[in-house]
Copies of this chain bind each other. A is one copy, B any other.
Amino acid sequence: MENLKESFLPQLQATYGFDDVSILPGLSTLDPKDVDTSVKIGKSKLKIPIIASAMDSAVDVNFASRLSKVGSMGVLNLEGLQTKYENPTEAFNKITSCNSQEAIKVIQKFYAEPIKEELVSLRVQELKNKGIDAAVSVTPANAERLGFLARDAGADVIFIQATVISSNHRGKISLNLKDFIARIEIPVVLGNCVTQDVAYELMQTGPAGILVGIGPGAACTTRAVTGVGVGQVTATMSCCKARDVHFEKTGKYVSIITDGGMRKGGEISKAIASGADAVMLGSCFSGLKETPGEGYHWGMATQDPNLPRGTRVSVKNMVELEKLFFGPSDRDDGTLNLIGGLKNSMGMVGAINIQEMQKATVVHCPSLKDEGKHYQFVDGVGQAK
């Protein structure tokens, strides 16, 4: 039994996803009604720390307005159907009505249409006409061209998103993030990244926030295709460490927004207990009555049409936004009344606000064995359901 030839068998560090962890209750408790869930992202104040991601299936101008009214924020994708088609109804109909074999090809076809600059300006103006903060999203490659168009049309915050972003991209179309952020003069949120070192480098460029997460979302297959990815709890904790170090050194606070892999109140609570300021959700919204996805959710088109990394997923969840956020819930799986779940979690932790919740203790606690283990007796034989 020579089990200790240590040099032969490298021991890897563990990383954690939401299903791997749970939150410890705190020394004191609070009435959930008394907790404050508000956060500030850039100059925008949100009553609830949830942002809808720039997915065509989730956010159009109308739904961004609905979100704003309840204290959330929706990010409009400036490189999707809304800016490729003045009236994107046909595209939505075709994408959501084709059968699943055709889906990827149909999506690829409609996304092949070029972006129209006039529609970029128009969509931002429509958001502003609703009287809300206009949050929009562009990719690094198009940030220079579309970002300033959006700003000039009145955008309040710009999200620059790629599957993986770094402040040191070695390629033809390399965006100088520091220069861009300085020139555009409105708050910029950058993403996505998953490690402390990249997050810290990004913070040197002056963003208002950082999006955390590669590959965990419902319409994202990054890990199978490329092998790259980190569990969201580890990624959030790592990037929050960068935020805290950066704040200590510079006095500038960069918000951390965990993006992807959440659908339940418990998962949102875990992200914030891991240190996040807010979370970005996508597929939760696509199945609502008010969103354009009509029960389907799909990933953003990638730059490389030969490597599809966005599938169409069925997410039929035909309730209204208020029920998703505030209940009442007639389900017990945590997918409705997300804010009620978060507030109850904060109450058990004894966290009066998001800042206190970020300091909760998170432990490794595999849920497959404990969570949702319902025993049932069928003809006298007990079974874990």
Interface residues of A (CB under 8 A from B): 1-32, 34, 104-105, 163-166, 168-173, 193-198, 201, 214-216, 218-219, 221, 223-232, 234, 237-238, 240-241, 261, 263-270, 273-275, 283, 287, 295, 304-311, 313-319, 326-335, 337, 340-342, 344-345, 347-350, 352, 358-382, 385
Q: How far is the CA of A270 from the CA of B370 in the complex (A)?
A: 15
Least CB distance from A234 to B in Å reads 6
Compute how far the CA of A105 lies from the CA of B22 in the bound complex, rounded to whole angstroms.
Answer: 29
* Chain B: minimal CB distance from A185 (Å): 26
Contact (A365, B15) CB under 8 Å given A23-B228, A228-B22, A313-B376: yes
On whether the beta carbons of B265 and A29 are closer than 8 Å, the reply is no
The reply to whether B227 and A8 form a contact with Cβ atoms under 8 Å apart is no
Using A13-B3, A283-B375 as known contacts, say yes or no to A227 and B313 having CB atoms under 8 A apart: no
Given known contacts A169-B29, A229-B22, A269-B226, is B382 in contact with A14 (CB within 8 Å)?
no
Assess the A241–B8 pair: CB atoms within 8 A.
Answer: yes
Closest to A383 in B: B333
Among B8, B28, B364, contact of A12 (Cβ-Cβ < 8 Å): B364
If A31-B170, A31-B172 touch, does A313 touch B229 (CB 8 Å cutoff)? no
| C-alpha gap A327/B357 in the complex (Å) | 46
Instruction: Give every chain B residue within 8 A of A226 (Cβ-Cβ).
Output: 23, 265-266, 269, 334, 341-342, 344-345, 348
In the complex the two chains form, is B164's CB within 8 Å of A364's CB? Answer: no
Nearest Cβ in chain B — how far from A244, in angstroms?
A: 10
* Docked CA distance A117–B11 (Å): 47
* Cβ–Cβ contact A337 & B25, under 8 A: no
If the complex has contacts A25-B214, A226-B265, A315-B376, are A31 and B173 also in contact, measured as CB distance less than 8 A? Answer: yes
Is A375 a contact partner of B263 (Cβ separation < 8 A)? yes
Nearest Cβ in chain B — how far from A363, in angstroms?
A: 5
**Is B372 a contact partner of A221 (Cβ separation < 8 A)?**
yes
In Å, the complex CA distance between A10 and B4 comes to 10
Q: What are 8 A-B pairs with beta-carbon distances under 8 A?
A: A1-B358, A12-B14, A17-B365, A28-B170, A225-B340, A227-B273, A307-B327, A311-B374
Report how far A2 CA is from B19 CA in the complex, Å: 19
Instruction: Name the B residues within 8 Å of A377 (CB-CB).
Output: 287, 295, 314-317
Contact A166 B29 (CB under 8 A): yes
CB pair A3–B12 under 8 Å, yes or no, is: yes
CB pair B1–A237 under 8 Å, yes or no, is: yes
A34-B171, A218-B374, A345-B227 known; A197 vs B327 contact (CB < 8 Å): no
Point out which of A195, A331, A361 has the most chain B C-beta atoms below 10 A from its C-beta: A361
Task: Kindly list chain B residues whose C-beta atoms are within 8 Å of the C-beta of A168.
Answer: 27-29, 350
- A316 with B380: CB separation less than 8 A: yes
Is A340 touching B304 in the complex (CB atoms < 8 A)? yes
Given A8-B238, A20-B366, A22-B227, 6 new contacts (CB under 8 A): A1-B360, A7-B196, A104-B332, A227-B341, A230-B365, A304-B340
The interface centre, meaning the residue of A168, A195, A218, A241 with most chain B CB atoms within 10 A of its CB, is A195
Tell whether, in the assembled complex, residue A12 and residue B2 are in contact, meaning their CB atoms are under 8 Å apart. no
